[in-house]
Amino acid sequence: MAEQKIEKDRKIYEDVFDTLTIRTLQTLIAKKKIDRILGIIKSGKEAQVFRALTPEKKLVVVKIYLIETSSFQNMADYIKGDYRFKNVGKNKRRLVYLWCAKEFRNLKKAHNAKISVPNPIAFFNNALVMEYIGNQKEAAPLLADIKPKDPKKMFSTILKDMKKLYFDAGLVHADLSQYNILVKDEKPIMIDMGQSVILKHPMAEKFLERDVKNIVNYFNKQGLNLDHNKILKQFEKKL
Ligand X SMILES: Nc1ncnc2c1ncn2[C@@H]1O[C@H](COP(=O)(O)OP(=O)(O)O)[C@@H](O)[C@H]1O
Among 46, 82, 161, 211, binds ligand X (CB under 6 A): 46
Question: Contact between 191 and ligand X (CB under 6 A)?
Answer: yes
Residue 183 interacting partner from ligand X, Mg ion, none (CB closer than 5 to 8 Å by kind): none
Residue 82 interacting partner from ligand X, Mg ion, none (CB closer than 5 to 8 Å by kind): none
Question: Contact between 203 and ligand X (CB under 6 A)?
Answer: no
Question: Contact between 21 and ligand X (CB under 6 A)?
Answer: no
For ligand X, the closer CB: 42 or 233: 42
Smallest separation (angstroms) from Mg ion to the CB of 180: 5
Question: Contact between 172 and ligand X (CB under 6 A)?
Answer: no
Identity of the residue numbered 27: T
**Using alpha carbons only, what angle is made at residue 24 by residues 134 and 81, rounded to the nearest 5 degrees?**
80
For residue 67, give every residue at least 6 positions away whose Cβ sits within 8 Å of its Cβ, in sequence order, or none: 18, 20, 92, 93, 96, 126
Residue 142 interacting partner from ligand X, Mg ion, none (CB closer than 5 to 8 Å by kind): ligand X
Helices (H), the chain: 2-16, 19-30, 72-80, 92-112, 151-163, 204-221, 228-233
Question: Contact between 211 and ligand X (CB under 6 A)?
Answer: no
Among 6, 22, 41, 113, binds ligand X (CB under 6 A): 41
N- to C-terminal Cα separation, the chain: 57
Question: Contact between 53 and ligand X (CB under 6 A)?
Answer: no
The rounded distance, in Å, linking the Cα atoms of 232 and 48 is: 33
* CA dist list (Å): 142 to 66, 186, 191, 199, 205: 22, 11, 10, 27, 26
Residue 133 interacting partner from Mg ion, ligand X, none (CB closer than 5 to 8 Å by kind): ligand X
Smallest separation (angstroms) from Mg ion to the CB of 172: 16
**Using alpha carbons only, what angle is made at residue 95 by residues 90 and 96, rounded to the nearest 5 degrees?**
140
Q: Which of 188, 122, 102, 114 has the alpha carbon at shortest distance from 149? A: 188
Smallest separation (angstroms) from ligand X to the CB of 137: 12
Give 164's DSSP letter: I
**Could you list the active site residues?**
175, 192
- Other C-beta atoms closer than 10 Å to the C-beta of 138 total 9
Among 6, 76, 134, 170, binds ligand X (CB under 6 A): 134
The rounded distance, in Å, linking the Cα atoms of 45 and 112 is: 29
For Mg ion, the closer CB: 29 or 100: 100
| Pairing of β 127-131 and β 59-65 | antiparallel
Residues lying near Mg ion in the complex (CB under 5 A): 180, 192
Residue 160 interacting partner from ligand X, Mg ion, none (CB closer than 5 to 8 Å by kind): none
- The footprint of ligand X (CB under 6 A) covers 41-42, 44, 46-47, 49, 61, 63, 118, 130-134, 139-140, 142, 180, 191-192
